[in-house]
A and B are shown apart, each in its own frame.
Chain A
Amino acid sequence: EDQVTQSPEALRLQEGESSSLNCSYTVSGLRGLFWYRQDPGKGPEFLFTLYSAGEEKEKERLKATLTKKESFLHITAPKPEDSATYLCAVQARETSGSRLTFGEGTQLTVNP
Chain B
Amino acid sequence: NAGVTQTPKFRVLKTGQSMTLLCAQDMNHEYMYWYRQDPGMGLRLIHYSVGEGTTAKGEVPDGYNVSRLKKQNFLLGLESAAPSQTSVYFCASSMTVNTEAFFGQGTRLTVV
- Chain A residues engaging chain B, CB cutoff 8 angstroms: 4, 31-32, 34, 36, 41-46, 49, 87, 89, 96-100, 102-105
Contacts and interface: CB of A to CB of B under 8 A. Distances in A.
B88 to A, nearest CB: 9
B87 to A, nearest CB: 14
24 contacts: A4-B42, A36-B103, A43-B90, A43-B103, A46-B100, A46-B101, A46-B102, A49-B99, A87-B42, A87-B43, A89-B43, A97-B33, A97-B49, A98-B48, A98-B96, A98-B98, A98-B101, A99-B33, A99-B45, A99-B58, A100-B43, A102-B42, A104-B42, A105-B42
Nearest to B54: A97
Interface residues of B, number: 29
B48 A102 contact: no
A96 B98 contact: no
A96 B105 contact: no
A89 B101 CA distance: 11
A97 B90 contact: no
Contacts of A89: 43
A45 B101 CA distance: 9
Given A4-B42, A43-B90, A98-B97, 6 more contacts: A31-B97, A42-B105, A43-B106, A44-B103, A97-B49, A102-B42
Interface string B70-112: 0000000000000000000010101011111111111000000
Given A41-B106, A42-B106, A100 B50 contact: no
Contact of B101 (A100, A103, A105): A100
A104 B40 contact: yes
A36 B103 CA distance: 10
